[in-house]
Structure 1
C-alpha cells in the first residue's frame, strides 16, 4: 500500500460489511471485462461467419465420407453372404379353364332292394358278395316244389273244364238242329246254351289260376333286374321268408353310369344356364375329398328348376361312365364344373406365387443373379396353375426358398436332375 492511499473501510468495520467492500471492486472488474468482450467481438464478426461456413463444409464432407464408408462396408459384408439356392419356374402362354367348384355327393341312378314275393324256404343263394351282376342273373331261389305242384293242379283243372266245354259245345250244336226240327223246346235249348257258357267261363277261370300258379313259381327264382354291384349277403339257405316282407333278400346298386349331385352359388347360375342354352356340353371333374386327385370326368346332365331360398344355391347333377368304379355311392367328392376357357393368357405355377399384406408378388430372377420383388395380378386358378398379369411369358421366377429371399437378394439357381446327371461313358 502506497502512502496517501486510503485504508479500506472494511479494515475498520465488522465482518458483516467486509463482503460489501470487497464486492464493489469485483463488480467494477466485471464491467470492465464486459466492455472488453464487447469491444473484442465487434471487430471479429466477419471471421466468425467464415468459421461457421467452414464448419458446415466440414460437416457435409464428414457426412458424405461416413455414408460412403458405410456403403462400402455393407457392400463388403453383402459380398460375403452366400447366394440363396433356389429352384425356378417359368411363366408360359396357354389356355386355362374357368371352373365353378362345389362339394358333391355320388348318387347311383338305380338302387334295388329285392324282397320275396312269395312265402317259402330259401333253397339257394346264387351270388357272391360284392359281385357285379347283370340283368337276369340268378340271385336267390325259394323252394319251388309247392309252387310247381300248384301249377300241375291248375293244369289238371283246366284240362277237365276244357273237356266239359268241348262237350257243351257239341251238345249245343245238336240241340240247335233239334230246335229247328221242333224236337226240343225253346227252354231246353236255352238250358244247353247256359251250360255251354258256364263251361266256357270255367275254362277261363282255370286258365287264370294256372297263370297265377306259374307266376308264383317264377317268383321262386329271384334274378337281377339291373346291372350293378351286389352288397353283403342278407339271407342264408334254409331261412323262411314271407311274401312282401320288410327285410330285403339282396341289394343291388348300379355303378355304371353313376351321378354326382352338387350345389352351386346362385351367382354362378346365369353363366351356367347361358352356357347350357348355347349348346355347350359342360364337363365336370370329380376330385377326392382332399381335392388333390382327379377320380373321373363326366358331363353336366341336369339342374334343378329353382334355387333353394334357404341356402341360395342351385342343385346340379352330372353323369359319369365310371368304368373303373372310381366313384362309389354316397362318396363325398369335390366337383369342378368347367364353364369357360381363357385362351392365350400368361400362366404361372401356383407354388411360385406369394402373398403378403401388400398383395400378390413373385421374385423375378434378374440377369445379374439377383431377384426383384415383382407385384402381379392373379386371375383364374385351376388348382395347379394361375392366370397372371404384369408378367410376360418366359419370365423366370423363384419357386422356393421364399423365407430366405428379399428384394435384391443374390441367388444361385439349383441345377436340374438332367444337368447333374453324369455323362455316359460312351460319349
Structure 2
C-alpha cells in the first residue's frame, strides 16, 4: 500500500512538471515597447533681409551708330588712312579719292565767275551814267531800261557761277572721306588703287560705335506696368548683362533702362525694351547674345529662406518648423521666389525650418538634426567609390 502511494505521487509530480513546461513554451511572448525612430534632417534659420527683385530675359547687343562708309563721287581710291579694327573719332580722315578732275572744274568755275564779275562791274558803271543822262533827256528812257536789264542778267550769271563753285567745292570735299561717328573700323572691302563708284553697295568698310552701346531685350507683357514705373522713377533702373545664365554667368557690364517699345508683339505677347551701357572695357560687342537681369523692386525686411524649404501641398504651401525634437506643419504664403531664394510670410524671423529630409516627415514627427557633409568630404567619398 505504501509503495502504491509513492507511485501515484511520482506520476502527479511528472504530470505537473509537464504542464508547467508546456505552459512555459506555449504562452505568448510579452510585447516590447519601442521608442519612435528619429528622422535625420537638416535645418536652416529664417532670416530677415532687404531683398531685390529681378526680371530676366534674353537680349542682343546693338550699336547706337553703325555706318557703312561709301564714296559720294566716282574716282580712284588713292589712299587709305586707317587700318582694320582701328578706333577712330568723328571727323578723322579715313581715305582720299583722286580729286584732279574736280579741282580742274573748280578752277574753271572760278574763272567764269571772274569774267562775269568784270562784265557786271562795267555794266553797273554804264548804268550810273545812263541814269544821269536820262535826267536831262540826253538819252532815250528805253536805253536806260536795257542797260538795267543787262546788269540784272549779269548779276544772275555771277550767282550761277558762284553756285557752280560751291558745287565743285562740295564735290572736292567728297574726295576726303571722314568718319561720321566715333567707333571702330571694320573689315575693308576695297584696296588702294580701286576705282570707286557711288553705286557700289558694299562701301569701303563700316564704322561701328562701341562705347556707349545698347542692349535690346524682351520681357513678358505682364511686366509693362512695372517697366512704366521704372522709367518714371527718379533713379534709372539698373540692368546687368551676362554671358550665359543671368545668375551664374559672367557679368559683362551694368547699364540703365532707357526706353520701352511703343507696342506689344502680338505673336509672342512680349514687350521690347532697351538699356544703355558704358562699354569702356568693350566686353559687350554688337550682335552678341546676352542674358539680361533688371532690378524691378526691393522687398524691405523680408523673411528669406532657401527654395527647398517650402513644400507645396494640395491647396497651399507649407514648411516644417522645428519645436524641440519634433516638427510641426506651418502653412505659409509665397511672396516672391527665384532659383536662389523664397520670400514667405506665416513664420517668424529666426524660426528653425527643415531644409532637407521632408519626404519622411509628418506633423509631430521626431527628428534628429544632422549637419551637411562638407563638399570636400563628398568629393573624397566619390573618388574612393570609384
TM bracket, shorter-chain basis: 0.7 to 0.9
Q: Is the 8 A contact 2:49 2:302 kept in 1?
A: yes
For 1:113 and 1:176, the matched residues in 2 are separated by 60
For 1:365 and 1:124, the matched residues in 2 are separated by 80
Measured against aligned partners, the alpha-carbon deviations of 1:87-108 in whole angstroms (never above 9, x if no partner) come to x977543211222222112222
Match of 1:166 among 121, 130, 144: 121
Match of 2:257 among 300, 305, 312: 300
Residue 389 of structure 1: CA displacement? 5.4
Q: 2:194 corresponds to which residue? A: 239
Q: 1:15 corresponds to which residue? A: none
For 2:296 and 2:373, the matched residues in 1 are separated by 39
Check if 1:179 corresponds to 2:134: yes
Match of 1:96 among 51, 64, 69: 51
Q: Is the 8 A contact 2:120 2:151 kept in 1?
A: yes
Q: Secondary structure at the match of 1:165?
A: helix
Q: Whose radius of gyration is greater, 1 or 2?
A: 1
Q: Is the 8 A contact 2:227 2:260 kept in 1?
A: no
Higher helix share: 1
Q: 1:346 corresponds to which residue? A: 303
Match of 1:387 among 339, 343, 347: 343
Match of 1:321 among 255, 278, 282: 278
Structure 1 residues 169 and 308 mapped into 2: Cα distance closer, same or farther (>3 Å)? Answer: same
Q: 2:65 corresponds to which residue? A: 110
Match of 1:333 among 282, 285, 290: 290
Higher strand share: 2
Q: Is the 8 A contact 2:90 2:182 kept in 1?
A: yes
Match of 1:250 among 205, 215, 228: 205
Q: Is the 8 A contact 2:84 2:187 kept in 1?
A: yes
For 1:107 and 1:312, the matched residues in 2 are separated by 22
Residue 294 of structure 1: CA displacement? 2.3
For 1:377 and 1:391, the matched residues in 2 are separated by 9
Long gaps (5+) in structure 1? 1-50, 418-427
For 1:169 and 1:247, the matched residues in 2 are separated by 53
Q: 2:161 corresponds to which residue? A: 206
Check if 1:259 corresponds to 2:214: yes
Residue 366 of structure 1: CA displacement? 10
Match of 1:312 among 235, 260, 269: 269
Structure 1 residues 331 and 89 mapped into 2: Cα distance closer, same or farther (>3 Å)? Answer: farther
Q: Taking structure 2 as the reference length, what is the TM-score of the superposition?
A: 0.74
Q: Is the 8 A contact 1:275 1:339 kept in 2?
A: yes
For 1:247 and 1:193, the matched residues in 2 are separated by 54
Q: Is the 8 A contact 1:154 1:210 kept in 2?
A: yes
For 1:223 and 1:380, the matched residues in 2 are separated by 54
Residue 270 of structure 1: CA displacement? 2.5
For 1:396 and 1:144, the matched residues in 2 are separated by 84
Superposed, which structure 2 residues align to 1:99-138 within 5 Å? Answer: 99-138=54-93
For 1:346 and 1:392, the matched residues in 2 are separated by 8
Q: Is the 8 A contact 1:100 1:337 kept in 2?
A: yes
Q: Secondary structure at the match of 1:123?
A: strand
Q: Secondary structure at the match of 1:304?
A: strand
Structure 1 residues 166 and 349 mapped into 2: Cα distance closer, same or farther (>3 Å)? Answer: farther
Q: Secondary structure at the match of 1:102?
A: strand
Q: 1:286 corresponds to which residue? A: 241
Residue 362 of structure 1: CA displacement? 9.2
Q: Taking structure 1 as the reference length, what is the TM-score of the superposition?
A: 0.67
Deviates further, 242-251 or 116-125: 242-251
For 1:245 and 1:103, the matched residues in 2 are separated by 36
Structure 1 residues 362 and 239 mapped into 2: Cα distance closer, same or farther (>3 Å)? Answer: farther
Long gaps (5+) in structure 2? 1-19, 362-366, 377-386
Q: Is the 8 A contact 2:60 2:216 kept in 1?
A: yes
Residue 388 of structure 1: CA displacement? 5.0
Structure 1 residues 414 and 311 mapped into 2: Cα distance closer, same or farther (>3 Å)? Answer: closer
Structural RMSD (CA): 4.1
For 1:393 and 1:128, the matched residues in 2 are separated by 63
Q: Is the 8 A contact 1:371 1:406 kept in 2?
A: no
